[in-house]
Amino acid sequence: MKNPEATKAKRKADLHTPTGLGADATRDISAELNALLADTFALYLKTKNFHWHMSGPRFRDLHLLLDEQGEQIFSMTDDLAERVRKIGGTTLRSIGHIARVQRLSDNDADFVTPQDMLAELREDNQRLVGFLRETHSLCDEYSDVATASLIENWIDQGERRVWFLFETNRENP
């Protein structure tokens, strides 16, 4: 018969991932990366929600645009989580954990116009880019160039998504 105390202790055991960063850097950067990960999952799901519920005369183009953007956003998740682990932290474990950490709002409305979908996604992507910049600054403080390097690419991708959403939603004169 298994010892329940030993099992409980094992669940709480440190993972002891070797890293060149100090304990403060691991704690602070991991926390920021987990917040980014939660926001990325929230933005991914909102993007797919709007992709699935797109309607109207521009359906095909907007449906495909949001599908492409959703794939790009989702591709960040594994790199974010693995970076947390590489620096010695632990990462998100559940949908509930994501909900407790995310800073971007969900949208559970029964109907959202295509224009409002694009505007909301543009704003959320802009906020995510802002969060990425803040995390980059933190990485600079701790000389975590590897995480900063990843973030630079995600900032560029986010700015491109903002640009596409803005231009796609621009009213024709």
104-148: pLDDT as tens digits: 999 999 999 999 999 999 999 999 999 999 999 999 999 999 999
Residue 163 lies in a domain: yes
Residue 110 lies in a domain: yes
Closest CA to 146 of 159, 131, 136, 132: 136
Q: Report yes or no on 5 lying in a domain.
A: no
Residue 31 lies in a domain: yes
In percent, the amount of the chain with pLDDT more than 70 equals 91
Q: Is residue 8 part of a domain?
A: no
Summarize the confidence of residues 47-57 as an average pLDDT: 97
On whether residue 114 sits in a domain, the answer given is: yes
**Mean pLDDT value of segment 87-98:** 96
**pTM for the structure as a whole:** 0.90
What are the residues whose beta carbons fall under 8 Å from the beta carbon of 69, sequence distance 6 or more?
47, 121, 161, 164, 165
In this prediction, residue 164 carries a pLDDT of 98
Range of the domain at 102: 21-169
Q: For residue 142, which of 37, 31, 17, 28 has the smallest C-alpha distance?
A: 28
- pLDDT score of 39 more than 60: yes
Whether 15 shows a pLDDT value over 80: the answer reads no
